[in-house]
């Protein structure tokens, strides 16, 4: 026996929700009677990006602007009119990254590893408990890493609805930068769609 039926019956008897004092008194009584506490729902395991996803992102976010001493210099966005956002390493952007930013390879690698954890968490939150293969997850993280759009994209809605063919077609809609289509983005979206539809090994 668990405590929930007792608490539910008390709420019904009192005709109201239980306040903190009520709950404390009831918990103490249940403890004295040896009734077990409600088991907490297990937290879902944190999803991680797999090797295929990392390889795909490294392909499209390759460290560029390598200096003679082996370090890397930030570069402007090639498709935006104002050069923003400035990018360095494996596609890292954000505060503190500008024309004078220079990182070592280790800094590039460390930032990427930290960033993909955050992006993977955001994708997990966006897709919820929708059935998702590892390759699908990796493709969605790559898409989000590049666009930041997992929370608003129709792609996400189609995936959650189980329309995987429709979701795969949605990748091709995200090929513009500053309103202009870019061949590099077309190619990346094609790679992401192919990974999304690839059966897990």
The domain at 51-197 falls in which architecture?
A: Orthogonal Bundle (1.10)
Q: Give the pLDDT confidence score for residue 101 in this predicted structure.
A: 96
Domain ranges within the chain, ordered by starting residue:
4-33, 51-197
44 pLDDT band, cuts 50/70/90, is low
Closest CA to 76 of 88, 90, 58: 88
Q: What is the pLDDT of residues 15-40, one digit of tens each?
A: 888 788 878 888 888 888 887 776 65
Q: Give the pLDDT confidence score for residue 32 in this predicted structure.
A: 84
- Concerning whether 61 is annotated as a catalytic residue, the answer is yes
What is the 3-class SS of the chain, one letter each residue? CCCHHHHHHHHHHHCCCCCHHHHHHHHHHHHHHCCCCCCCCCCCCCCCCCHHHHHHHHHHCCCCCECCCCCEECECCCCCCCCCCCEECCCECCCCCCCCCEECHHHHHHHHHHHHHHHHHHHHHHHCCCCCCHHHHHHHHHHHHHHCCCCCCHHHHHHHCCCHHHHHHHHHHCCEECCEECHHHHHHHHHHHHHHHCCCC
Q: What is the pLDDT of residues 165-184, one digit of tens each?
A: 999 999 999 999 888 899 99
104 pLDDT band, cuts 50/70/90, is very high
List the catalytic residue out of 38, 40, 61, 122. 61
pLDDT at 46 over 80: yes
The pTM of this model reads 0.76
């Amino acid at each position: 026996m668990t405590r929930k039926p007792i608490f539910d019956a008390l709420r019904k008897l009192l005709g109201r929700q239980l306040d903190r004092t009520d709950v404390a008194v009831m918990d103490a009584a249940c403890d004295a009677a040896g009734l077990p506490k409600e088991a907490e729902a297990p937290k879902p395991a944190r999803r991680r990006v797999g090797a295929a996803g990392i390889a795909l992102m490294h392909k499209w976010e390759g460290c560029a602007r390598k200096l003679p001493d082996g370090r890397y210099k930030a570069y402007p966005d090639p498709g935006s009119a104002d050069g923003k956002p400035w990018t360095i390493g494996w596609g890292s952007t954000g505060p503190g990254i500008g024309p004078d930013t220079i990182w070592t390879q280790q800094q590039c690698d460390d930032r990427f590893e930290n960033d993909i954890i955050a992006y993977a968490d955001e994708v997990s939150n966006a897709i919820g408990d929708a059935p998702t293969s590892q390759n699908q997850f990796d493709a969605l993280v790559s898409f989000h890493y590049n666009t930041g759009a997992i929370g608003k994209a129709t792609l996400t809605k189609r995936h959650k609805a189980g329309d995987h063919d429709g979701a795969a077609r949605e990748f091709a809609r995200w090929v513009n930068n500053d309103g202009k289509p870019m061949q590099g983005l077309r190619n990346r979206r094609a790679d992401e769609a192919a990974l999304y539809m690839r059966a897990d090994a």
